[in-house]
Structure formats: C-alpha cells, structure tokens
Amino acid sequence: MKKALIIGSTGTIGSAVIKAFADAGYEVTGASRNTSPSIDIEDPVSIEKFFIPGKSYDTIICAAGNATFGDLELLNEESFRNSFNSKLTGQIRVVQSGLPVLNTNGVILLTGGMFAFEPWPGTSAIAAANCGLEGFVRAVTREIKDLTDKKSVRIIHPPLVAETAKMMNMDPAPWPFAADVAGFYLKGATGEAKNEVIYVDGYSPKVLG
C-alpha cells in the first residue's frame, strides 16, 4: 500500500486531501503542529525530528504555510519575514528533509496559490512567497533529474476555495470546493499531471491572467 504524508492535515485543503488519498487507497498520515508526532514547518529542529530514517513515504504533501494579507504600506519587515519563513522557507525545509525519506518514484507536493499569477491588492507578501516557491520547485526539479532521478517535487497553485471564500464573507460560487482541488493533488502524486507546476482546471494563468 502506498504511503502519503499530509502536513496541514486538519486544514481546509489538507483535510480534503487526506480524504482524497484515503479514498484512493493510500495509507495516510496527517501531521500539523497539534498532532503526535507534531511538525512545525517554521521550525527547522521540529522538521528534522519529524523525518526520521526508516519511516518513508511515496508522497509528501505540504498544505500548510501562512503568509500575511495586507496593503504594502501596512506590511513591515516582520510581515515579510514571517510570511517567507512559513509559506516559502517552511516548505523548502519540507523538501530538504523529506527527499531522503521519499521512496523511489515518490513525489513531494507543495502548495502555492493563485496569487502567484493572479494577485489581488493586499497580496504582495503572499504573491512573493508563492512565486519564490515556484522558482524553487522549477530549479530543484532540474537538479533532481540529474542527481537522484525518479523523485519529483511539484507545486500546486490552488485558487481560493469555496469554503475559505465563505469564511471571508465572499461569494463562494465562483470557486471550487476543497474536495475538487484535492483531486489535483492526487493527479500530482500519481503522475497524471505532467508538469512540475500544477494548476486547477479553470483557474490557470491562461484563464485567469
């Protein structure tokens, strides 16, 4: 049975991803700052402790990582530092510590977001983190092909999901549900998605940009 680790498993997207992988027959492990064992992607020591030799996975998904909403004039040095430490460097740490325990043909899937290519006002910190993460994935993909082969690192750029739109008192109608988005994580893990940058159908740069 294939093994999937989902970091951020209790979140809006993570809980849908857990269900999609369990339904597809994976043995799933969920993790976050409040699980046992716990993982905090903002803390390098926590990540090192979590990924112990001998416990390997076919898919590692990170659906965690915060970045700050706010107009540029309201964002300070700390807002950007915290956003990058979580959403960008946090997920980079997952790749660095996760690759050694990833099985042959395994996939690591990171989570960006549509603000990488369709930013709204107030999303500069989020967009910067998402674009940085995409650049990281593109570069690492080329290294991995040469070095360890058969393992891949991919990034998914989900649009706003309906559940989150509702929480933000926005109209959820234009947006897909987390369960629909979760299907694209599954495609990314099974190789059905051919590129290292994965968009949700109907919410790609060509459509939205």
Ligand X SMILES: NC(=O)c1ccc[n+]([C@@H]2O[C@H](COP(=O)([O-])OP(=O)(O)OC[C@H]3O[C@@H](n4cnc5c(N)ncnc54)[C@H](OP(=O)(O)O)[C@@H]3O)[C@@H](O)[C@H]2O)c1
Whole-number Å distance between alpha carbons of 202 and 199: 8
Residues 174, 131 contacting (CB under 8 angstroms): no
User: Which range, of 3-11, 93-101, 141-149, 200-208, touches ligand X by CB under 6 A?
Assistant: 3-11
Q: Tell me if 8 contacts ligand X by CB under 6 A.
A: yes
Q: Which is nearer to ligand X, 141 or 164 (CB)?
A: 164
Q: Which is nearer to ligand X, 26 or 199 (CB)?
A: 199
Q: Tell me if 82 contacts ligand X by CB under 6 A.
A: no
Residues 4, 57 contacting (CB under 8 angstroms): yes
Binding mask 34-63 for ligand X (x = CB under 6 A): x----xxxx--------------------x
Q: Name the closest residue to ligand X (Cβ).
A: 11
Alpha helices (H) in the chain, listed in sequence order = 12-23, 44-50, 77-83, 89-98, 124-146, 162-167, 178-190, 205-208
Q: Tell me if 132 contacts ligand X by CB under 6 A.
A: no
Within 88-127, the residues that bind ligand X by CB under 6 A are 111, 113
Q: Tell me if 11 contacts ligand X by CB under 6 A.
A: yes
Q: Which is nearer to ligand X, 44 or 148 (CB)?
A: 44
**Least distance from C-beta 105 to ligand X, angstroms?**
25
In 3D space, the residue among 45, 87, 66, 22 whose CA is nearest the CA of residue 37 turns out to be 45
Residue 29's alpha-carbon distances to 14, 64, 196, 205, in angstroms, are 11, 15, 23, 32
Q: Residue 69: what residue type?
A: F
Q: Which is nearer to ligand X, 82 or 148 (CB)?
A: 82
